[in-house]
């Protein structure tokens, strides 16, 4: 199963950054929460940066504002992540262009829905 980094994961269960963690876990993914202000999310170790996370990461899904995403996309690419999702509210023309310039074609859509879950049921 794929390993997914949730960039902007949250311990607040009402936030999409938390719903994504739970949705991916429900679907059997290995989940790596990324948040520099959290140490644990849904019982998983949270890492301050994708660069700090151990092991291979197949996919990253962004739940941060575009200006933050623009500063983090380089780290995601440096980790060799080839599948990047920009969720509603995290995308911007500048971030999309930055990802493309680094060799990644981002998926601009809700990753929770993309794996067959509904945010309203989480």
Give the per-residue pLDDT at 119: 94
- Determine the Cα angle at 86 with ends 35 and 65, to 5°: 55
Non-local (6+) Cβ contacts of 36 within 8 A are 48, 49
Residue with tokens 């197949």: 58
Here the CATH number for the domain that contains residue 10 is 3.40.50.720
* Structural domain for 78, as ranges: 3-121
Residue with tokens 């990253």: 60
Q: Which helix (H) or strand (E) holds 30?
A: strand 30-34
pLDDT tens, residue by residue, 42-85: 999 999 999 999 999 999 999 999 999 999 999 999 999 999 99
Non-local (6+) Cβ contacts of 27 within 8 A are 115, 116, 117
Using CA atoms, how far residue 67 sits from 9, 17, 40, in Å, is 16, 17, 24
Residue 89 predicted with pLDDT over 90:
yes
Residue 1 predicted with pLDDT over 90:
no
Contact in structure between 112 and 122 (CB atoms under 8 Å): yes
Is the whole model's pTM more than 0.85, yes or no?
yes
Report d(CA 91, CA 64) in Å as an integer: 9
Residue 108 predicted with pLDDT over 90:
yes
Q: How many domains is the chain partitioned into structurally?
A: 1
Non-local (6+) Cβ contacts of 121 within 8 A are none
pLDDT tens, residue by residue, 13-35: 999 999 999 999 999 999 999 99
């Amino acid at each position: 199963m794929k390993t997914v980094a949730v960039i902007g994961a949250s311990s607040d269960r009402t936030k999409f950054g938390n719903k994504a963690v739970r949705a991916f876990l429900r679907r059997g993914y290995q989940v790596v929460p990324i948040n520099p202000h959290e140490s644990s999310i849904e019982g998983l170790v949270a890492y301050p940066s994708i660069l700090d996370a151990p092991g291979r990461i197949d996919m990253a899904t962004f739940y941060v504002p575009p200006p933050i995403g623009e500063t983090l996309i380089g780290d995601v690419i440096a980790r060799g992540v080839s599948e990047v999702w920009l969720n509603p509210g995290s995308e911007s023309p500048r971030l999309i262009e930055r990802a493309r310039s680094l060799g990644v074609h981002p998926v601009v859509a809700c990753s929770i829905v993309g794996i067959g879950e509904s945010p309203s049921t989480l």
